[in-house]
Structure 1
């Protein structure tokens, strides 16, 4: 089973299966293809993965998120007038992670060569008929693209004409990217001819990218356009294989990446929700919606203050945050009759046998929110995934029906990624949520590599989050959050979604749809979600007012009954209805009873799956 954000990219995964590859090979091929197609990411972005290894029976985590470059300090950005690092351009870039992630996963757990796995992506780099969504996204972002000479050369083949971007169906050629990928394949093939093992040969390609001529051109192109990259930044970065975090929900082990992502939010929410009879409440009843909303907000309040790169000090109190006892303490704060508009971070330290060193900071932070609570407009929230013709994760929104400021806010909330899901008969299961380098992207020199925009997920002030303050060599806390679940020691569900801060909201409800309400995997991907805005945005906007929580803001499905709407309004919610209440969820259910795979891909995007 191969599922990802574009039909052509899913086809790439199916091709690799057909050539004898396993699910890791297929996932890497789909990832390479989506990067080449600019499916809300590029080769300069970041990769986050969970992999079930049938040989060991273990789930492993892959951390292929880039780091802040030399010179990226709070003082540097504050001197430029920012409250957060910028959204676009060379100063928004962490070092590339996806090429290293692909090489590492392939070398350690794949079967095929890099040459074989990159073949579909290289064919597309040589020229493929560009889809309307990507072509139109380029056209909309062309004024920003024109600021960057290498991006302009790639994306605007009709410069000076009324439409400067490619047209839908036009053969889109990326010569520089093809040359870069060819250099990596050449390094691998040269190493093989010299007698190196398959694994050593793949890592030779890795070395050429991060320490050789490819790295040199990335650094030169980044710095020429005002960035901070150094050769040492790229050479010192390495992908990390980690132990994932997990919790058990009613006999199901749910795995997420560590607190350098927002993934533990879902685990915290499940720990709280197992104390409620959700099935008795009923799917999307007022009681259910209220309980889900309050639980998510408590978990996101903890995320917003405590999550960050675990390889830097201070280190997050993640053990306390994931404690079942802590969850029971948190749910005592839920008023079953009324929304709590300003949920605060809890105190997980006693559940680790420690005292909280940030109590003073938390009280100061509370005052900041109180002093600025009037900055938000609460009555005009419509997430962009409900905008007419809109597509989650792009800059596409309908200005005729939405105020510009509100559309920008919603784009920040829902700014996306793509997802990659793969599974095979041997038992390999892969869930990836890659991102970074989305359009309009700044390309690094003559590499064809669009640079990441993930620096914006850092904060510059410990008052917001002391664990996520930018520093050279540090990873930002990202929204990207693949998921795997195991049942009776066997793979059960692999699932992920695009959509910025809404990701774990959507994934939590997908999981509950399948587990509590017995929906098939396809029904669970398409079922109406709720969306909360009572959280700090992780993307977009360089000022506090751009990112602050919006108390009571909730999106419901357009067919929600008026009775439910009125009950929620009476509980303090600012309700909006929408046709789309989640990004495209992709998922695989491993049916051990029948020995089959069930794929699901929601109808909220161009995502596509192929099974055989």
Structure 2
């Protein structure tokens, strides 16, 4: 009888959940869908679609617009992309992450007293990846010219009504901005007045950025005038940025302010096309970028959770929250020690980490009575037929690798005293997201980032430099795969997702928010796949976040990054009985009104031949469909 009552309660709860209205309406389209972090930038994508461009062209236009709007990123940042190619029926990945420059060594940063590279300023900068990534996308999968896709961004650079969010960020960070003369020139348009940054709605002009973008388009047009083909013309623009006069000014401005980037660093960098990583979860193929991102965390967590009947637990029940929290902690513990640049040595044990048998071993560590504050990295090497070369390093950190004994986290993994507001700023920092799809079958998911406010602008280029160096470590005991070195990519949080079912696109999704990205994407996906939510309801549904991980961003001391075991961020509407049950399991609770994360997503309705667009009520993100 009790079992029947419980089942009926779950059914009633599920029906009531489905009946609740969303704060934003669903987006629908049959021809195309464009969603990103700002309505104005989504409009840029719609303009390209209306001119006959495909989803890749539209994504490039939205990327350019968000960079120009300083939507938590800039042109000097990094871009990472998943693309479904309808011609090959495959998902491909584009790695447009910049690299550490010449001179960026452990000794250099430790000599300045850092435990991690700095979070702001010229020494935080990797080489810019976004211009190269955008052009690579356009060359290989787009259909339009650079002039066409940059037109909305160039129009904005000439002057647009700035949004209050960006304008207020400039004002709030003006003391940092004043350290860098080229940034002050761009952002503090009313220098010496009480409010030195623009006001919301003021026409914000970026002459230097417009000049840079104009030079790139001029290089393309000059090549076409000489009879060059489309690809060669686009690459002429690429070369002008990375090898020509734009590069010269970028390097001059960077080095003048104390940065390390050289002309050789820019010339040698190139975007890379990759085969993404994939696991199957209950018949759905889930694609993520490689281990230079945190994307495999989602894959590992799904492998672990496949061993549990999540649906029977009920959406956001104490048992469900606890199970997901533990699974995420297991995956993040592996991320924090094993993920790094696949193009540098040593090689990461990804085959073992993504093994279903390894996931079963990790799942067996989950107990249902309390939070395990002492969980650490596992040992994936036996699952790819190898011996773990880092056993001694893990033991040095204090982890017990005998699988018959529960892992033990050393003292410095058992919490820190960073103030809640500072910690959560670092946890959620940076980024925007872009989703695009068209009737020809192209699907694009992007999580670009870097160069966010307060950005250090490189000379008279108008381009804010990346701050992604801070995601490296300087101590191999923290992660031997992610130690800073010239020419190496940092392990980043940036993590778009794509899901295929029966060989066809099922969902495409991305979210901003630092270390919370794959936490929120995991819950979004389960909302749809396990609980049958619509894509809009799934983007708005209350998520929770674990703080039991090493932060990827913020602070230059080890104490700034340490995990906060058992700390959990819940939605303010969480029921009292759920709160009490979690407290009894040893969790420390905090609350906020919106916990979905600013997720953007597209669902593919093959029954009706339409797109369903979802955009969370967490931020200003939105889209347009047709």
TM range (shorter): over 0.9
Q: Secondary structure at the match of 2:419?
A: helix
Match of 1:389 in 2: none
Q: Confirm or deny that 1:347 pairs with 2:353.
A: no
Query: Among residues 569, 572, 579, which one is paired with 1:565 in the alignment?
Result: 579
Once residues 524 and 416 of structure 1 are traced to their aligned partners in structure 2, the CA distance between those partners, rounded to angstroms, is 22
Once residues 569 and 426 of structure 2 are traced to their aligned partners in structure 1, the CA distance between those partners, rounded to angstroms, is 16
Match of 1:489 in 2: 503
Deviates more, 1:570-579 or 1:57-66: 570-579
Once residues 214 and 416 of structure 2 are traced to their aligned partners in structure 1, the CA distance between those partners, rounded to angstroms, is 50
Match of 2:428 in 1: 414
Between the two proteins, the alignment pairs up a number of residues equal to: 586
Equivalent residues in 2 for 1:274-353, closer than 5 Å: 274-353=306-385
Query: Among residues 127, 148, 163, which one is paired with 1:131 in the alignment?
Result: 163
Query: Which consecutive residues of structure 2, in runs of 5 or more, have no partner in the other structure?
Result: 1-32, 400-407
Q: For residues 128-154 of structure 1, what are the alpha-carbon distances to aligned partners after superposition, in whole Å with 9 as ceiling and x for unaligned?
A: 000000000000000000000000000
Distance change in 2, residues 1:375/1:502 (3 Å): closer
Q: Secondary structure at the match of 2:543?
A: coil
Q: Confirm or deny that 1:53 pairs with 2:93.
A: no
Equivalent residues in 2 for 1:581-592, closer than 5 Å: 581-592=595-606
Match of 2:280 in 1: 248
Q: Secondary structure at the match of 1:576?
A: strand
Q: Confirm or deny that 1:115 pairs with 2:129.
A: no
Equivalent residues in 2 for 1:222-241, closer than 5 Å: 222-241=254-273
Q: For residues 502-539 of structure 1, what are the alpha-carbon distances to aligned partners after superposition, in whole Å with 9 as ceiling and x for unaligned?
A: 00000000000000000000000000001000000000
Is the Cα–Cα contact under 8 Å of residues 342 and 534 in structure 1 kept in the other structure?
Answer: no
Q: Confirm or deny that 1:190 pairs with 2:222.
A: yes
Is the Cα–Cα contact under 8 Å of residues 125 and 177 in structure 1 kept in the other structure?
Answer: yes
CA drift of 1:374 comes to 6.5
Once residues 328 and 340 of structure 1 are traced to their aligned partners in structure 2, the CA distance between those partners, rounded to angstroms, is 17
Match of 2:5 in 1: none
CA drift of 1:376 comes to 2.0
Once residues 236 and 312 of structure 1 are traced to their aligned partners in structure 2, the CA distance between those partners, rounded to angstroms, is 15
Q: Secondary structure at the match of 1:362?
A: helix
Query: Among residues 377, 393, 418, which one is paired with 1:361 in the alignment?
Result: 393
Once residues 137 and 415 of structure 2 are traced to their aligned partners in structure 1, the CA distance between those partners, rounded to angstroms, is 45
Is the Cα–Cα contact under 8 Å of residues 615 and 623 in structure 2 kept in the other structure?
Answer: yes
CA drift of 1:561 comes to 1.0
Equivalent residues in 2 for 1:13-162, closer than 5 Å: 13-162=45-194
CA drift of 1:336 comes to 1.3
Once residues 347 and 15 of structure 1 are traced to their aligned partners in structure 2, the CA distance between those partners, rounded to angstroms, is 50
Match of 2:494 in 1: 480
Match of 2:205 in 1: 173
CA drift of 1:557 comes to 1.1
Match of 1:393 in 2: none
Match of 2:10 in 1: none
CA drift of 1:369 comes to 5.5
Q: Secondary structure at the match of 1:372?
A: helix
Once residues 68 and 190 of structure 2 are traced to their aligned partners in structure 1, the CA distance between those partners, rounded to angstroms, is 20
Q: Secondary structure at the match of 1:440?
A: coil
Q: Confirm or deny that 1:610 pairs with 2:624.
A: yes
Distance change in 2, residues 1:373/1:68 (3 Å): closer
CA drift of 1:560 comes to 1.0
Once residues 159 and 526 of structure 1 are traced to their aligned partners in structure 2, the CA distance between those partners, rounded to angstroms, is 40
Once residues 413 and 476 of structure 2 are traced to their aligned partners in structure 1, the CA distance between those partners, rounded to angstroms, is 19
Match of 1:382 in 2: none
Q: Confirm or deny that 1:458 pairs with 2:472.
A: yes
Q: Confirm or deny that 1:163 pairs with 2:203.
A: no
Once residues 264 and 521 of structure 1 are traced to their aligned partners in structure 2, the CA distance between those partners, rounded to angstroms, is 22
Is the Cα–Cα contact under 8 Å of residues 615 and 621 in structure 2 kept in the other structure?
Answer: yes
CA drift of 1:577 comes to 2.0
Query: Among residues 432, 439, 443, which one is paired with 2:446 in the alignment?
Result: 432
Is the Cα–Cα contact under 8 Å of residues 67 and 73 in structure 2 kept in the other structure?
Answer: yes
Q: For residues 287-320 of structure 1, what are the alpha-carbon distances to aligned partners after superposition, in whole Å with 9 as ceiling and x for unaligned?
A: 1000000000000000000000000010110010
Once residues 291 and 375 of structure 1 are traced to their aligned partners in structure 2, the CA distance between those partners, rounded to angstroms, is 21
Deviating runs (4+, > 4 A) in structure 1?
A: none
Once residues 507 and 416 of structure 1 are traced to their aligned partners in structure 2, the CA distance between those partners, rounded to angstroms, is 16
Is the Cα–Cα contact under 8 Å of residues 601 and 609 in structure 1 kept in the other structure?
Answer: yes
Once residues 82 and 583 of structure 1 are traced to their aligned partners in structure 2, the CA distance between those partners, rounded to angstroms, is 31
Q: Confirm or deny that 1:598 pairs with 2:612.
A: yes
Distance change in 2, residues 1:576/1:366 (3 Å): same
Match of 1:400 in 2: none
Once residues 409 and 384 of structure 2 are traced to their aligned partners in structure 1, the CA distance between those partners, rounded to angstroms, is 28
Match of 2:29 in 1: none
Once residues 588 and 595 of structure 2 are traced to their aligned partners in structure 1, the CA distance between those partners, rounded to angstroms, is 15
* RMSD of aligned Cα (Å): 1.0
Match of 1:580 in 2: 594
Is the Cα–Cα contact under 8 Å of residues 502 and 582 in structure 1 kept in the other structure?
Answer: no
CA drift of 1:32 comes to 0.2
Query: Among residues 203, 210, 233, which one is paired with 1:201 in the alignment?
Result: 233
Q: Confirm or deny that 1:471 pairs with 2:511.
A: no
Once residues 420 and 190 of structure 2 are traced to their aligned partners in structure 1, the CA distance between those partners, rounded to angstroms, is 32
CA drift of 1:370 comes to 2.5
Match of 1:518 in 2: 532
Equivalent residues in 2 for 1:255-274, closer than 5 Å: 255-274=287-306
Is the Cα–Cα contact under 8 Å of residues 34 and 41 in structure 1 kept in the other structure?
Answer: yes
Is the Cα–Cα contact under 8 Å of residues 596 and 616 in structure 2 kept in the other structure?
Answer: no
CA drift of 1:580 comes to 1.7
Once residues 549 and 411 of structure 2 are traced to their aligned partners in structure 1, the CA distance between those partners, rounded to angstroms, is 17
Q: For residues 29-70 of structure 1, what are the alpha-carbon distances to aligned partners after superposition, in whole Å with 9 as ceiling and x for unaligned?
A: 000000000000000000000000000001000000000000
Query: Among residues 486, 504, 507, which one is paired with 2:518 in the alignment?
Result: 504
Match of 1:395 in 2: none
Q: Confirm or deny that 1:376 pairs with 2:390.
A: no
Distance change in 2, residues 1:373/1:428 (3 Å): closer
Q: Secondary structure at the match of 1:61?
A: strand
Once residues 187 and 425 of structure 1 are traced to their aligned partners in structure 2, the CA distance between those partners, rounded to angstroms, is 32
Is the Cα–Cα contact under 8 Å of residues 125 and 178 in structure 1 kept in the other structure?
Answer: yes
CA drift of 1:446 comes to 0.3
Q: For residues 542-579 of structure 1, what are the alpha-carbon distances to aligned partners after superposition, in whole Å with 9 as ceiling and x for unaligned?
A: 00110001010001111111111111111111112221
Q: For residues 254-281 of structure 1, what are the alpha-carbon distances to aligned partners after superposition, in whole Å with 9 as ceiling and x for unaligned?
A: 0000000000000000011111111110
Q: Secondary structure at the match of 1:48?
A: strand
